[in-house]
Amino acid sequence: MSDIAISATNLTKKFGDFTAVDHVSFDVRKGEVFGLLGPNGAGKSTAIRMLSTLSAPSEGTATVAGFDIQKQDGKVREHIGLVSEKMIMYDELKARENLTLFGKLYDIPSDLLAKRIESLLKFVRMEQWADHRIDTFSTGMKQRINVIRALVNEPEILFLDEPTLGLDPQSTAEIRELVRKINAENKTTIILTTHMMTEADMLCDRIGIMDHGRIVALDTPENLKKSVTGTDSNLFEFEIPNLDSDTVSAVTALEAVGSVVRDDPTHIKVSATGADAFDVLVDTLRKKGAKIRTVRNLEPTLEDVFLKITGHEVRDAPARAPTSHNGGHGPWRPRNRVR
Amino acid sequence: MGIERVLRHSAWICWKDLLEFSRSKLRVAMLIIMPLFMMMMVGFIFPSGTTLHDQPIAVANLDSGATGSSYGSTFVASLEYINNQTHVMKLSDATDFDQIKTQIQDGTLVGGIIVSEDFTWNLTHGQQGVIQVVTDQSNPQISSMMQAVLTGIVDSMGSQLAAQNLNHTYNISLEQTTAMLQPYNIEKKGIVPGDPNYFEFVAPGIMAMVVMMSLMTGLPHAISYEKDIGTLDGMLAAPTSRWSIILGKVMAQTTRGLIQGFIILAMSVLLFGVVIYGSILLVILLILLTVFSFVGLGILITSFADKEETATMVMMTLMFPMMFLSGVFFPVQQMPGFMQTIADFLPLTYAANAMRKVMVLGAGPGPIMMDVVVLIVFGAVLLTVAVPMFKRAMNR
C-alpha cells in the first residue's frame, strides 16, 4: 500500500474556450489535510468535481484511493465523501431521513446504518435534532448534518468544497473544529478548498495555491510564508491619514522595497529588504510630508504569499471573466449555500 | 452493477421523493383537487342538446291569413304546444324581422322565427309555406344548435300537416302516410348498451393525459431542480447507477400520476355515470405503457435544459399541442387534415385511443395491439436517443 491518497496528473477541464483547470498535477498523502487555496474562479471547485467523479476531465487523469477517476468511477465513489459548495440535503426531510437515504445509496445494512447515524449525530452533538426537519435548522446546524452526511460511508477521503462559505463566525469555527476532529479521530484524508487564507493556514498540512486554473505554489503553510520573507525581508503596515498617490509611488520607487499594497485610503503594506529598510521607509515618508500615525511590523500571511506569487490580491476578479460558463462551474451555476 | 441493486437504490430515491412530496399538505391537496377540477371542467363546459332550455326566441307572425282561417296562427299554436312539452324555448312575440334583429343585438334574444306574409295563401294554393329561422351568428355553437332544434320542430310540424292533408284528401291511413313521407327510419344501436356520454369519451383520454402530465412536468422538474439546488451531486457522487436516479424519479412521478388517474376513474364512475366495460388490469397496464412511451421525452428535456425554469418552459410548450391535438378533448377525426397528421405523431393519441377502446368499448388486448406497438416503438426510440444524452449531461 502506498501512502498516496490522491494523485492527479495534468488534470485539465475546458468549458468551450475557457480553461477552468489547466494541467494540474499534485499528490495528496494519506491522512493529510490538503488545501486548495485561491480566489473565486481559480478552478478549485472544478478540480474537486473532477476528483469526485462528477465531471469528466478534458485531459489528464487522476487516481483517488488507488482507483482511476474515469475507468473505475464506481470504486472511487465508494471511498469518498463529498461536501460541495451547495448543501446536499433535502430541506423537507428530517435529519435522520436524509442520512438514511444517503446511507442506503452506499448499501449499508439497516442496523449498522442506524448505529452509525446515531454515533455521527453524537459526533456533532445533534442527536436531539435527529427527527427534526432540515428546514427548521440554522445554517450552522445544517452544515454539521451536511458534513456527517458525507461521512455515512466512512470514506477514506473527504472532499470539502468551501465548507465554511456563508456561515456566521461561530458556525465557521465549529465546522473548522469538526474538520480537525474528523482528520484526527478517523485518520480521514481531507482535501478542502477555500478562498480564506486564515482557514487554509489553520487547517491544512499542505496548501496548493491556485490561480487561473494552475497550481502556482504547493508547500506547507510555514514554508510558503518563509518564501515570501526570504531571510532579511520585513513587512510593514503604515497608517497615514494624509496618504496620497504621490507618496505611494515614491515608496514603490525605493530600491529596498519589494511590493506595496494600498489596502484602503489610509493604509499601505510595504515589504522591504535590508537592515536599514525601516529607516529608509520612514525617511522617505517624512520627506513627502506624510503623517505616520501607526506602524506595525507584520508577520507574513498567506495573503502575502498569494500576492507575491500571483502579483494580485485574492479578492481580485479573475483576469478572464468566464461569464458564459457560470463562473467556470460549467452547467452548475454556483448558488449561495444559504437557501 | 446488478439490476437488483439498481432497483433497490431507485426504490429508496422514490421513497425520498414521495416522502418529500407528502411533507406539504397543500401539495397533497392539489394532487387530489387537480383531477377533480379537470373532470368538472370538461364535464360541464361543453353544451349538449339536453342542456338547452328556456332559450329566448321571438315569433313574428306576419301571415295575413284568409277569411275565417290562418295557417300562421295554427303554426304558432302548435309551436307553443310542442314547446310546452320540451321547454327548449321561451317564446315571445315580435312584430317583424327588424325587431328580432334589434333584440338579438341587445342580447335579449338568441333567435327568432318568422312566419311569412303569404303563408296561408301559399299553403291553400298548393305551394310551400315559408318559415324563416333567424339566428345569432356571433354565437356559432348556440346558433347551430338552435337552428337544428327549430328546423327539427318545423320539419316535424310540416310532416304532420302533410300527413293530415294526405289523410283528408286521398283517404290514406296515417301509418301509410308516414311510410310515404319518411321512407327511411333510423334506429341507433351501439355495440355496448346505453347512450353515448361525453364523459365516456373524455375520461379515458384524461386519465392518459394526467399520467403524461405528471411525468412530463414532474420528471424534468424533479431532476433539474435537484441539479439547481445541488442535491443531485450527492446522488451522483455515491456509488449509485444513473439508472437508479432516473428510475426512482419515474417511479415517484408515476405513483402520483396513478393516484390522479384513479381519482378520475372513480369520479367518472361514481359521479358521471361512466360504465367501464373493459378490464381494469388492462387499463393499468396501458397507463404504465403510456408512462414508458413518455419517459424518454422527459429525460431528453431534462438533459437539454440547463435550469429548472428552462425545463418547465420547454415542457409547457410541448404539452399544450399534445393535450389538444391528441384527441383527448376533441375527436381527431373532426380536425383539419394537417392537424390529424400531427396527431399521428403524438404518443398520447394512441394512448387515449387504446384507453377509450378498453374502457368504453370493452376491447381486449387484440384490438389495441396496434396502439400498444406504436407506444412501445415511441418509448424505445425516445429512450435510445435520451439515455446517452442524459449520461453526457450528467458528466459535463
| Chain B residues with CB-CB distance to A13 below 8 A | none
Chain B residues closer than 8 Å to A56 by CB? 395-396
**Average pLDDT of the segment spanning B42-64:** 74
Q: How confident is the model at residue A229 (pLDDT cuts 50, 70, 90)?
A: low
Residue A81 has pLDDT above 80, yes or no: yes
| Chain A CA closest to residue B9 | A105
By Cβ distance, the residue of B8, B19, B233 closest to A82 is B233
pLDDT tier at A164 (50, 70, 90 boundaries)?
A: very high
| Residue A266 CB contacts under 8 Å (≥ 6 apart), including other chains | A239, A240, A241, A243
Decide if A82 and B230 are in contact by the 8 Å CB cutoff.
Answer: no
Which run of H or E residues covers position A100? helix A95-105
**Chain B residues lying within 8 Å of A57, measured CB to CB:** none
pLDDT score for B303: 83
**Predicted local distance difference test score (pLDDT) of residue B396:** 62
Query: Does residue A6 register a pLDDT over 90?
Result: yes
The pLDDT, as a whole number, for residue B124 is 81
* B215, B225, A157, A186 alpha-carbon torsion, rounded to 10°: -100
Report the residue from B231, B239, B393 with minimal CB separation from A90: B231
**Grid coordinates of A223:** 514554508
Q: What is the pLDDT of residue A10?
A: 95
Residues from chain A contacting residue B234 (CB–CB below 8 Å):
82, 84, 88-89, 102, 149
Distance of CA A140 to the CA centre of its chain: 18
Residue of B nearest to A94 (CA): B20
Report, as an integer, the average pLDDT of A138-150: 94
pLDDT of residue A98: 96
Query: What's the pLDDT tens digit per position in B307-351?
Result: 778 888 888 888 888 888 888 887 888 888 888 888 888 888 999
The type of residue at A162 is: E
For residues B328 and B202, what is the distance between their CA atoms, to the nearest angstrom? Answer: 6
Q: Does the pLDDT at position A330 exceed 50? A: no
Cell triple for B344? 399521428
pLDDT at position A331: 43
In this prediction, residue B48 has a pLDDT band, given cuts at 50, 70 and 90, of low
**Measured between CB atoms, which of B23, B229, B233 is closest to A54?**
B233
- Chain A contacts of B1, Cβ < 8 Å? 74
Beta bridge partners of B69: B66
CB contact under 8 A, B231 and A89: yes
pLDDT of B239: 94
Residue to mutate among B1, B10, B15, B23, with most A CBs inside 10 A, is: B23
Q: CA-to-CA distance for B100 and B113, rounded, in angstroms?
A: 9
Of B228, B234, B307, the CB nearest to A102: B234
Q: Say yes or no: ipTM exceeds 0.85.
A: no
3-state secondary structure string, chain B? CCHHHHHHHHHHHHHHHHHHHHCCHHHHHHHHHHHHHHHHHHHHHCCCHHHCCCEEEEEEECCCCECCECHHHHHHHHHHHHHHHHCCEEEEECCCHHHHHHHHHHCCCCEEEEECCCHHHHHHCCCCCCEEEEECCCCHHHHHHHHHHHHHHHHHHHHHHHHHHHHHHHCCCHHHHHHHHCCCCCCCCCCCCCCCCHHHHHHHHHHHHHHHHHHHHHHHHHHHHHHHHCHHHHHHCCCCCHHHHHHHHHHHHHHHHHHHHHHHHHHHHHCCCCCCCCCHHHHHHHHHHHHHHHHHHHHHHHHHCCCHHHHHHHHHHHHHHHHHHCCCCCCHHHCCHHHHHHHHCCHHHHHHHHHHHHHHHCCCCCCCHHHHHHHHHHHHHHHHHHHHHHHHHHCC
Cβ distance of A54 and B24 shorter than 8 Å: no
For an interface test with A, the pick among B10, B223, B229, B307 (most A C-beta atoms closer than 10 Å) comes out as: B229
What's the average model confidence in pLDDT over B50-64?
81
Q: Can you tell me the mean pLDDT for A62-84?
A: 94
What was the pLDDT predicted at A336? 46
Other residues' Cβ atoms within 10 Å of the Cβ of residue B194: 12
* Residue A232: per-residue pLDDT: 60
* Least confident among B69-83, B151-165, B187-201, B217-231: B187-201
The angle at the Cα of A205, spanning A190 to B234, to the nearest 5 degrees, equals 15
Distance from CA of B32 to the nearest CA of A (A): 21
A335 and chain B in contact, CB less than 8 A: yes
Strand A4-15 versus strand A18-29 pairing type: antiparallel
Show the cell assigned to A85.
459548495
pLDDT, average across residues B301-305: 82
Q: Does A87 touch chain B (CB under 8 A)?
A: yes
Residues 117-136 on A with a CB inside 8 Å of B are: 133
Least CB–CB distance from B237: residue in A82, A85, A92? A82
| Cβ <8 Å between B233 and A102 | no
Cα A59-A62-A64 angle, rounded to 5 deg = 150
Beta-sheet strand order (sheet of A233-239): A257-264, A267-273, A233-239, A294-298
Taking 50 as the threshold, does the pLDDT of residue A325 lie above it? Answer: no
Query: Which of B1, B14, B16, B235 to substitute to test the interface with A, most A CBs within 10 Å?
Result: B16
Cβ contact B237–A80 (<8 Å): yes
A55:B395 CB<8 A: yes
What pLDDT was estimated at residue B125?
83
Report the alpha-carbon distance of residue B337 to residue B344 in Å, rounded: 11
Q: B-contacting residues of A 133-162, CB under 8 Å?
A: 133, 149, 153
Using the Cα atoms of residue A85, residue A90, residue A94 and residue A96 in order, give the sign of their dihedral: negative
Prediction pTM value: 0.73
Element (H, E) at A302: helix A302-310
pLDDT for res A319 = 44
Give me the sign of the Cα torsion angle A288, A294, A299, A302: negative
Please name the residue of chain A whose CA is at the shortest distance from the CA of residue B21.
A92
Pick A75 or A222 by higher pLDDT: A75
Residue-level pLDDT at A318: 47
The percentage of residues in chain B with a pLDDT greater than 70, rounded to a whole number, is 95
What does the CA dihedral A108, A114, A119, A120 come to, rounded to 10 degrees? 60
A106 has a chain B CB within 8 A of its CB: yes
In terms of C-beta density within 10 A (0-12 exposed, 13-18 middle, 19 or more buried), how is residue B174 classed?
exposed
- The answer to which of A174-188, B94-108, B303-317, B354-368 has the lowest mean pLDDT is B303-317
Give the model's confidence band at A338: pLDDT under 50 very low, under 70 low, under 90 confident, else very high: very low
- What's the CA gap between B330 and B198, in Å, rounded? 10
Match 455521527 to its residue by C-alpha cell: A120
Q: What percent of chain A has pLDDT over 70?
A: 90
Work out the minimum CA distance from A317 to partner chain B, whole angstroms.
24
Rounded to the nearest angstrom, the minimum Cα separation between B259 and chain A is 22
Instruction: Single out the residue of B28, B6, B26 nearest to residue B256, CA to CA.
Output: B28
Of the candidates A88, A97, A333, which has its C-beta nearest B231's C-beta? A88
C-beta atoms of B238 and A77 within 8 A:
yes
pLDDT for the residue numbered B220 = 82
**CB pair distance less than 8 Å for A82 and B229:** no
A322, pLDDT greater than 50: no
What is the pLDDT at residue A160? 96
From the list A56, A86, A107, the residue facing B395 with the nearest CB is A56
Residues of A in contact with B8 (CB under 8 A): 104, 107
* Phi-psi region at A13: left, alpha or beta (left = phi > 0; alpha = psi -120 to 50): beta
Average pLDDT, whole number, for chain B?
Answer: 84
C-alpha cell at B8: 433497490
Quick one: pLDDT at residue A57? Answer: 94
Mean pLDDT over all residues of chain A? 86
SS3 A268: strand
> Mutation test of the interface with chain A: which of B12, B20, B396, choosing the one with the most A Cβ atoms within 10 A?
B396
Give the residue on A whose Cα is nearest the Cα of B14. A101
